[in-house]
Amino acid sequence: MDNKLLFAVTALFNSPEEILHAVREVRLAGYTKYDVNTPYPLHGMDGAMKLKPSTLSYVALVLGLTGTFSALFFMWWVSAVNYPLVIGGKPYFSLPAFIPITFEVTVLLASIGTVVAMLFIYFKLPNNSYPLHDTEYMRSVSSDKFGIVILAKDPLFDEDKVVSLFKDLRSGNITSVYYETEEINVRHTVFEPKFLSFMAATFIFTAALTYFSLNYILYWQPFNWMWFQNRVDAQSKSTYFSDGFGMRMPVEGSVARGFIPYPYRGDQASASKYLVNPLVASKEVLIKGQDKFNTFCSPCHGYFGKGDSRLRGQFPAPPSLQSEKVRNYKDGDIYHIITVGQNIMPSYEKQITREERWAIIHYIRALQRSQNAKESDVK
C-alpha cells in the first residue's frame, strides 16, 4: 500500500449501543472529520455526533423568497407599468388576483432549486467516485453492522493512534482505506464532457417523450376520453332538445339562490313612490358611489353626468343627468332605471349590486348639486 494515499480508517461494531459509545469517544478525543454509517437510522445519533442543523433549509428559504418577490415584481411591472389595463374597475395591481401565481412560482423555484443545490453543491455530483464505495466496510454497514470512519484529513489524524482508539473501543474489524491511483489525480466536475453529454441526452429524451405524449398519445384511444364529455358548451347546438338550443332559459318563476327579485319591473311609478335610499351619504358611501359611477356610468354619461360620452361617438350619447327633469327624479326613479334600463340604456342589475346602486345615486346627487349650486350651498 506504499504507493497509495491513505483516505481513512474504518471500524465496525455489532450493536447500536456500541456505535453510540464509539461516537462519543471519538468526539471526546477531538476528532472532527469523521462519519457514521448504519443500516438504519439510530435515535440519538445526531446528539452524539453534535451535528449542526443542515444549511439546506436556508437555501430553500432564499430561493422561495426569490420566487415570491420575482413573481410579484414581474406581475406588477406588466400590469401597472408596461401594459396597464382596467379590468372591471379593479386597480392595476390587484394583489388577491396575483396570489395563486406567486404561490406557484415560490414553490416551484424553492423545490427545484433546493434539489439542484443538494445534488450539485452538497453532494458534489457528478463526482460519484468515493474510496469507501465497493469496500467490505460499506457492504457490512448496509446489512447488519454499524461503522465509523475517521478521515485522514482530520487535523488530529494519526493512523496508529486511530487504530489504537478503535481497538480500545473493542471494534471487531478495523480497516485502512486508500485512494485508488486514478482518483488522486482526476478531478470530476459538472463540466466534464461525459456528464454534460449524459445531461444533454436526458434533456432531449425527456423533451421528445413529453412532446410525443402531449401531441399524439393523448389523442389516441383510450387516453382521449376527456376530449369527449357529456356536456353542453356555451352557444353550442344540442341534439337532446327539440329546438336544437343547448343553452336553456331558466324555468319561469325560478329565483336564483341569494337573489332578491326586483318587485317593480315595468312599474316606475311604484318604484318612485315606495323606494327610499337606505344608505346615509357618508364619505365612504360617496367614495364607493364615485368608483362605481366612473366604472359603469361615466363611459356614456361622462365624469360629471353631463351626457358628454367618453366613447367618442361609438355609442349614442344619453341625456344629461344635470337636466331639471333628472334633478327632480326621486331616488326610486333613478334606482329603477339603473335596475331595468331605459330606452337604449341596458339593465345594470347583474353588474352592480343593490347597495352599489344606492351609493351611485348618492354620488349622482352630489354631482347635480356641484354643477347646480345655489348661493346657500357656498355658505
pLDDT for res 233: 82
- Calpha distance 33→27 (Å, rounded): 10
Residue 335 has which C-alpha cell?
334606482
Whether 363 and 329 map to the same domain: the answer is yes
- List, for the chain, all residue ranges whose pLDDT scores fall below the cut of 50: 1, 183-184
Whether 273 and 357 map to the same domain: the answer is yes
Is residue 245 domain-resident?
no
Which of 116, 144, 164 marks a domain boundary? 116
Whether 346 and 279 map to the same domain: the answer is yes
Domain range for 344 is: 268-373
Whether 88 and 23 map to the same domain: the answer is no
With beta carbons less than 8 A apart as the criterion, state whether 330 and 373 touch.
no
pLDDT for res 187: 56
Whether 335 and 216 map to the same domain: the answer is no
Whether 65 and 180 map to the same domain: the answer is no
pLDDT for res 186: 52
pLDDT for res 188: 55
pLDDT for res 182: 54
CATH of the domain at 321: 1.10.760.10
With beta carbons less than 8 A apart as the criterion, state whether 320 and 307 touch.
yes
Biggest alpha carbon distance in the chain? 111
Whether 60 and 137 map to the same domain: the answer is no
pLDDT for res 2: 53
Q: Tell me: the pLDDT tens digits for 77-99?
A: 999 899 888 777 788 888 898 99
Is residue 76 domain-resident?
yes
Whether 49 and 60 map to the same domain: the answer is no
pLDDT for res 177: 92
H-helix or E-strand spanning residue 366: helix 354-371
Whether 300 and 158 map to the same domain: the answer is no
pLDDT for res 181: 62
